[in-house]
Amino acid sequence: MNTSVRIAPGLVLKNPVLSASGTFAYGEEFSRLFDLGLLGGIVTKGLSLNPKEGNPLPRVYETPCGLINAIGLENIGADAFISGKLPELRSFGTPVIVNFFGSSEEDYALLASRLDVNGIAAIEMNVSCPNVKQGGLEFGRDPEVLFRLTGAVRARTGKPLIVKLTPMVSDIGAMAQAARAGGADAITCANTIPAMAIDEHTWRPVLGNVTGGLSGPAIKPVALKLVWEVSKKVDIPIIASGGACTWNDCVQFLLAGASAVEIGSASLRDPLCFTDIITGIEHYLESRGLDSVTDLIGKLETP
């Protein structure tokens, strides 16, 4: 059977299962546990122009149905990644998709240009970041701002451009349309949901940053609806991100309109879940008599 999916010109994944930005870091730890060549794609930890330290500890808190993180986008910076991490990632023969972010349109454009190197198959732009030149409003909350940002980045790179949307908007379909109009090749839908945890014994927040982003099974129904909404608004591929833990979850996201699915928090609990998910999707296709994973994409039957 054919499990490959096309995400953008020049970007074809051998299967629809990817790592998610953040939880997979730069792949080093996971590469000691299984062959990263099995994945459809490797999405790296978010990169900035310069190294970033991140938020104060504690940074992670487990909830009954998910995980709250306040890492603060800590990373080694683009240059250190290209010289120190990318060579090993390239060796697995799996497309490397680099997540990146900035605090101004100029940051994003310069970083996209810096990442336009051999070995990087595509770039995933995180727009859930405050625009320091526009009063701190996130880039992904204003369609006009997102349109201009996507266009500026598109002009600086020849790589396939994926825009990772924030779920914290009233109309995510409009944001997807703005990214599409600006030149995005694909959409990742979506990011974590703002959350917090409180210690009733100390009367203090659990996280050093007070608030963080909720991921894991708790947000899957929300992410599923967002993918479905976006699929009705744009004609470019969608990568689902949010709460997928099993092959069943992935099949549901594909039916809702996604072409691929990122696995995040689940991989922290079980790093080998990727192999189970990929095998599970294959067995599901076989059981349904389907020849290709594309036979599932967007096939949700609604009343």
Residue percentage of the chain with pLDDT more than 90: 97
Does residue 135 have a pLDDT over 90? no
CA atoms of 179 and 186, how far apart (whole Å): 9
Give the per-residue pLDDT at 220.
98
CA atoms of 222 and 167, how far apart (whole Å): 9
CA atoms of 188 and 198, how far apart (whole Å): 31
The average pLDDT across 260-267 equals 98
> Which of the residue ranges 31-35, 132-136, 187-191, 213-217 would you say has the lowest mean pLDDT?
132-136
Whether the Cβ atoms of residue 120 and residue 96 lie closer than 8 Å to each other: yes
Mean pLDDT of the chain: 97
The average pLDDT across 275-295 equals 98
Phi, psi for residue 196 in degrees, rounded to 5 = -155, 165
Strand ranges of the sheet holding 193-196, from the earlier edge strand across to the other edge: 60-63, 66-69, 211-215, 193-196
Which pair of structure tokens corresponds to residue 114? 């810096």
State the chain's maximal CA–CA distance in angstroms: 57
CA atoms of 101 and 219, how far apart (whole Å): 23
Give the per-residue pLDDT at 136.
82
Burial label for 176, CB within 10 Å (0-12, 13-18, 19+), is buried
pLDDT digits (tens, 9 = 90+) for 164-217: 999 999 999 999 999 999 999 999 999 999 999 999 999 999 999 999 999 999
The average pLDDT across 28-38 equals 96
Give the per-residue pLDDT at 134.
80
What secondary structure does DSSP assign to 147-184, as a single string? HHHHHHHHTT--S-EEEE--S-SS-HHHHHHHHHHHT-
Quickly state the pLDDT bin for 133 (edges 50, 70, 90): confident
- Give me the residues paired with residue 205 across strands: 198
Domains and CATH numbers, the chain: 5-54+73-194+214-295 (3.20.20.70)
Phi, psi for residue 278 in degrees, rounded to 5 = -60, -45
The average pLDDT across 39-54 equals 97
Does residue 290 have a pLDDT over 90? yes
Could you tell me which of 212, 286, 231 has the C-alpha nearest to residue 58?
Answer: 212
Q: Which residues participate in catalysis according to the annotation?
A: 129
pLDDT digits (tens, 9 = 90+) for 10-23: 999 999 999 999 99
Does residue 137 have a pLDDT over 90? no
CA atoms of 98 and 53, how far apart (whole Å): 19
Question: Which residues are CB-contacts of 301 (< 8 A; sequence separation ≥ 6)?
Answer: none
Give the per-residue pLDDT at 105.
96
CA atoms of 87 and 195, how far apart (whole Å): 36
